[in-house]
Structure 1
Amino acid sequence: MNAAVITSDAQALAVAEHIAQQLRKDSALRDRERRQPHAELELFTRSGLWAISVPKAFGGAGVSNVTLAKVITRIAQADASLGQIPQNHFYALEVLRVNGSPEQQQRLYGEVLAGRRFGNALAELGTKTAHDRTTRLSRDGDGYRINGRKFYSTGALYAQRIPTSVIDDDGVQQLVFVPAAAPGVQVIDDWSGFGQRTTGSGSVVFDNVFVAANDVVPFQSAFERPTTVGPLAQILHAAIDTGIARAAFEDALHFVRTRSRPWVDSGQDKASDDPLTLKSFGHMSIRLHATEALLERAGEYLDRAAAAVTVTASASASASAANVGAGLPRDESATDLVAAASIAVAEARAISTEISLAASTTLFELAGSQATLAEHNLDRHWRNARVHTLHDPVRWKYHAIGNYYLNQVNPPRRGTL
């Protein structure tokens, strides 16, 4: 597979706009018929967008998190499922960036630049909490064996590698970049969610799967010190929801302008002149613009944190390196910046959850009964928003945000905040 190589943030945004216009075609039909987007994913991958977070040192564009979030938002606006499929691909690349060895980075980043996709096999059903893992990694000679079953494996159905969370013989969590074609790997298309229908978020079974030692990357340690792995995962979720909200808003505008009728009491000839409709669109647009602004702000915070953590890691290897930040010790500066980034991302995540649900519901209130006809499939926006925003409870984000500002308590280090 050959893929273009994107070299700058500006190019990434331009390519995303071009590709999004193509991915939008038949997006409603793909959702209605649950038609797997294989051809669309090939177009998306060959564009080079799946490699934009590969650091410049390894031949990628190393785009900012602001740009990465904007790209995902634009793709999700075109097709919410296609916006979500690469989410854990970029998450795995971030784990690789902060925890991978130089050899692992060179090899796996090279695969991504060549057009290979990474899926995921992280979550499991039937455990006490959503964070518990039972899939085992056991030593076997020079390599390892994996046994277990995963669910919510978004993108695994379309991937060449499946980054998989496992517990090793010492009880430590690792991330294994499992080749999808490895003997014993079974990807099952059993995702039946009423939204995000074509994400391939079903099961992956590992039956005594052999993996090489150099495909195992430390995972647990990414949450035992200040890193950007958790907030990076969350900003991508916020970007997906923001894209869904923008799509619902734009479809509402188009429908009211072209199809809807004014309410009789409005005294207007066009629905677009109905004063109460205008008020509702005004309210919705303000909340949407606030969401987009908070998402960009979160990306800026995350970029600063990533730079601080990178400098701190480099400084730790040199006793003469200067402290990072405004007079703060190295570790304290990194901790503070990652915490601030996590909170900024949580704010974006909270408001993007609300606006995606609100916009996809208000669409019908403003567009009227015609908008519910199956041929329009406008309900996909609400279904997609409702399913995707259940990834982790937004109520706990408000708790963490309030605790941070009121009591100066940093949020937990994990991928759900």
Structure 2
Amino acid sequence: MKMLINNYLNTYRGIAKEIWFLSFVTFINRAGAMVIPFLSLYLTDQKDFTLPQVGWIMTFYGFGSLFGNFIGGKLTDIIGYYKTIVLSLFIGGIGFIAIQFLDSFSSLCIGMFFLMLAVDTYRPAVFVAADAYSINNNVTRNIGLIRLAINLGFSIGPVIGGILIARASYESIFWVDGITCMIASLLLVLLLKPKKSEKKEVSIVHVKEGISPYANPAFLLFFVVMVINAIAFVQYFSTVPIYYKQIHGLSEDTIGSILFLNGIMIVFLEMPLIAWVERLGMTKITATILGIVFLAISFIILNFSDLFGTLIIGMVLMTIGEMIGSPFSNALALDMAPKGRKGSYMGLYSMSFSISHIIGHNAGMNAIHSFGFEMTWYGMFILLGFAAIIIMYLPKLINKII
């Protein structure tokens, strides 16, 4: 038992204190992130929008995320990751508080766009920070620790959110989310100082060096695969909660508990899993493919049985896929980025998730509306299988560029 604990703790050794500070701030931020997993339920139950209308609101959510990631990548290369993260957290906090006061379909579309524009400038910046504070090329573990903080907070957030909704109101989660975002920005200023060499990294001369991500065929193929993967993944935070409620009759607090399983698995298992995969000598591309395969299986298994346990198995499989695929795909994107272009590359990488919000939620809602849940889950399985096949061509493209 002692050896097991020591092996687990060893996965955290050698990580810079700045990454620990950034992870702590990220945890505070994500612990308040209880709006997103309940957003589709809030829009259908409290605002009485139809599923297609919710799909369109989530599409504007995705457009805001898309432009936020693009701007975040540019800002990171110009003003640095530190200022970009602080601005994103503070302005995003204000946005979460304000969004609850919007009632009409058009105002929510516009409000969601600007909210996510502010919130998702954070993504490229935090990935670049993970690389900037890397020691002995441990960027994958840096990303793993930041993801652990995200998921620890995100596992607690839905549980708290479900309790707040059941005991108080939906409006309370907007206040908590907004306030925690602003607290996170303040803690970042107090706990973390930018790396001294950052100014040199983001100089205009360096930004012009290297191939643009938009002219890199290998990275563009990788980007397409990440879009497909993310389109399926975001279903777990929009259509799948509706599936839990409408087909299985689960309450919001039970749904929050299932999402808690995702987060708590990542907290305890992701870092050891990353270390184990690295010891196996598995390439980042292979690990990314494996993550896609597990996600695909998590959807198909939902059609096998109506038992509650099937939902748990599906969540476990999705989480395994996320734990393997996400940190290694992040690290792969950083590996493919030339010096001085990391902000732009991570901006485009993060935009894959934004595009998934634009396409995924809307497509998922309308697919369920037209074909039902069962056919939608089969569709996700086939889509992910296609992604796993085409990414196998990535090494050939990389070798051509080199």
Superposition TM-score tier, normalisation by shorter sequence: 0.3 to 0.5
Larger helix proportion of the pair: 2
Relative to the length of structure 1, the TM-score reads 0.32
Relative to the length of structure 2, the TM-score reads 0.33
Larger strand proportion of the pair: 1
